[in-house]
Structure formats: structure tokens, C-alpha cells
Amino acid sequence: TDTLLEIDHLSVDYETGRGDLKALRDITFDVNKGEIVGIVGESGCGKSTLISSILRLTAPNTRFREGEIRFKGQDLLQSSERHMRDLRGADISIVFQDPMQTHNPVLTIGQQMLDIQHRSKQSKADKLAHAAKMLGAVGIPDPEARLKQYPHEFSGGMRQRIAIAMALMSEPDLLIADEPTTALDATLEVQIIERLQELQREFHCAILFISHHLGVIAELCDRVVVMYAGAVVESGEVREIFHNPKHPYTRRLIECDPGHIKERARVLPTIPGEVPDLANLPGGCIFRDRCDQAMARCATQVPPLDQLKKGHHAACWLNHEEVTT
């Protein structure tokens, strides 16, 4: 099959002093080989828990309550720590929002890129040549000379390019990009997005791209999963989601972040209201308090994630009426 990553009815809690925090509830979606899937949502929607669950780097108070995370068919929640370490080094890589999380400030970029290749039997000269080639691939000019420099000698945009080069060195099957452009200005953001598209074609890796900007997702991704308060509220192909959004939350996200990232103003309107308290979830639809189309049943009944057409799902009673009548 072409499926690389399968998130299958995943529910994750955090045990806290004030009760269980339901961080993820019944999350289901796939990432196919070589595909770019975007996860969009505000902070608090569960994006960080999802990433740390896939990498099995969760806090000690995490409880995997239900579901599976399968990578190449193997359930990661049942895998040994050793297997996870091997995966994280080679098959699954991550790029963070802040590249300084990746870079060691006291080592040159060249030394750090040698360290990543510690398992390789190649000579040091070959490893440095590979490192320079990767810096070139992400658009760093004069890569041989720049290998001798330290992270602080690069601009923020350059540091993020280097973090991407490092993440791709092992030729992973899956690159997780956790808001990699959020800290950059719009021009640099566009450059990084375009570079990621080229790299995806060159390296044939799948990308799971996390962002709170729907405009960025639209630019880069094949499919998008919209998350709200720890649940999937809509998912589908990017074009379909933009031209035919079916969940009120998705529609509000599009209103707030309408277009092409090259033209967009940096200060965007936000959706009024707050994400509900995950330790004390209301009954009914989780978006109810912020929804201007809420009906009586929305207060008491949780809308199911209906398939509206092939590959397009949404969880809202408004569509449920269409689907079932």
C-alpha cells in the first residue's frame, strides 16, 4: 500500500491534579508516501500532543487511552524504546518552529552535521562533502565555508534552512515540520515553503506540516486536517477545503487567513472566543460556544465526523442533515 502513517482512533489524556485533560479525542487520518499533509488549528488544538505522540516523546503523565499510530504498518505505541530511537534518527525527522532547538550553539554547523552521520561508515571527508551538498540543497551559498561557522553567525531564515538540511540528511520517509515558518517574516516564509516543495520532490519524503496559518497550508499541502480542541472537525483535499468548507470553524479560519501568503497582511483577525477547557469539556459540539450557527441539538449531541464525499469529512450537524436526508 501507499500508506506511510496511520493515525487510527487515537485518544490521549494527560493526568493532572484537576482531573484528566482530554488532549486528543478519536483522531483518525493517514499520510501516504510522498504526500504533504497539513494540520491546522489554533494553539491548544492538540497539534503538539499529536507530534509528541507520533515521536513517542510525550510527558510522563501522558496516557494513550485508545487507538493506534501505525508507521509502515507497525504500531508505534507498542514499539520498544530502542525501535523508536532508530526511527527518530533515520525514518522520521522533525523541524521545529525555533531552529535553535536543533542547533548546538557551541558547535560549528559542520561538526553538528558530522554528528548526525555518526552511524555512517564513510570517511570524514565524504561526510563533510555530504553536509555541504545538503546545505547547497536548501539554498545556503558557499556551503563548504559555512560549515566552519557557528549557529549565531547565521540569520533566522538561514538557521531554519540548516535545520531542514539536518532533518533531511538521513533521507527520512516522514518529515514532521512543526510551525517551521511561524517565526519568520513573510518573504522568508515563502522562500522556505517553496524550498520545502522542491525538497519533497527531490527526496520523495512525506511531510506532515503543522501550522496555524491556513494560507501556508494551502500553498504547500495536498490534504489538510483541521483540528479543534483535540478533535478533527474537518479533513479533505486542500482545494476542496478552500472552495467548499463544510465546518463553521474551517470557514472562520479561511476568513481570518484568506489567501496567498505572498500577499497576506501579517496581522490577521482572530476568531472571537476561546478553545474549551480540555479538563472540563462541554457536552455536545465542542465548537458550540464560538459558533454563530449553533442549534439546540448542538448543546447536547456530539456531531459525528461524517463523510460528505470521498475523502472529505466534517463533524457538524448542519451537514449531517444533508448527508442523511
Shortest distance (Å) from residue 319 CB to ligand SF4: 8
Q: Which of 285, 305, 308, 313 binds ligand SF4 (CB under 6 A)?
A: 285
Neighbouring residues of 129: CB distance < 8 A, sequence distance ≥ 6? none
Whose Cβ is closer to Mg ion: residue 48's or residue 111's? Answer: 48
Tell me which of ligand SF4, Mg ion, none is bound by residue 48, counting a contact when its beta carbon lies within the kind-specific cut-off of 5 to 8 angstroms: Mg ion
Q: Which entry of Mg ion, ligand SF4, none binds 191, CB below 5 to 8 A by partner kind?
A: none
Binding residue (CB under 6 A) for ligand SF4 from 176, 207, 210, 316? 316
- Nearest residue (CB) to ligand SF4, 229 versus 294: 294
C-alpha cell at 54: 507520533
C-alpha cell at 50: 499529536
Cell numbers describing residue 298: 448542538
Distance CA 197, CA 220 (A): 7
**Residue 39 contact partner, candidates Mg ion, ligand SF4, none, CB within 5 to 8 A by sort of partner:** none
Kindly state whether residue 293 participates in binding ligand SF4, applying the rule CB under 6 A: yes
> 270: part of which helix (H) or strand (E)?
none
Q: What is the C-alpha separation between 16 and 3, in angstroms, rounded?
A: 35
Q: Which residues, in sequence order, are bridge partners of residue 210?
A: 39, 178
> In the set 55, 84, 100, 318, which binds ligand SF4 (CB under 6 A)?
318
CB of 48 to Mg ion, least distance (A): 4
| Out of 96, 228, 242, 287, the residue judged to bind ligand SF4 by CB under 6 A | 287
β-bridge partners, 29:
7
Of the candidate spans 8-16, 68-76, 193-201, 316-324, the one that interacts with ligand SF4 by CB under 6 A turns out to be: 316-324
**CB-count burial class (<10 Å; 0-12, 13-18, 19+) for 292:** exposed
Rounded to the nearest angstrom, the gap between the alpha carbon of residue 282 and the centroid of all alpha carbons in its chain is: 26
Q: Which is nearer to ligand SF4, 254 or 318 (CB)?
A: 318
Work out how close the CB of 47 gets to Mg ion at its nearest, in angstroms, rounded to a whole number.
Answer: 5
DSSP string, 164-207: HHHHHTT--SEEEEESTTTTS-HHHHHHHHHHHHHHHHHH--EE
Q: Quick one: what does residue 245 bind among ligand SF4, Mg ion, none, with the CB cut-off 5 to 8 Å set by partner type?
A: none
Interface residues with Mg ion (CB under 5 A) are 48
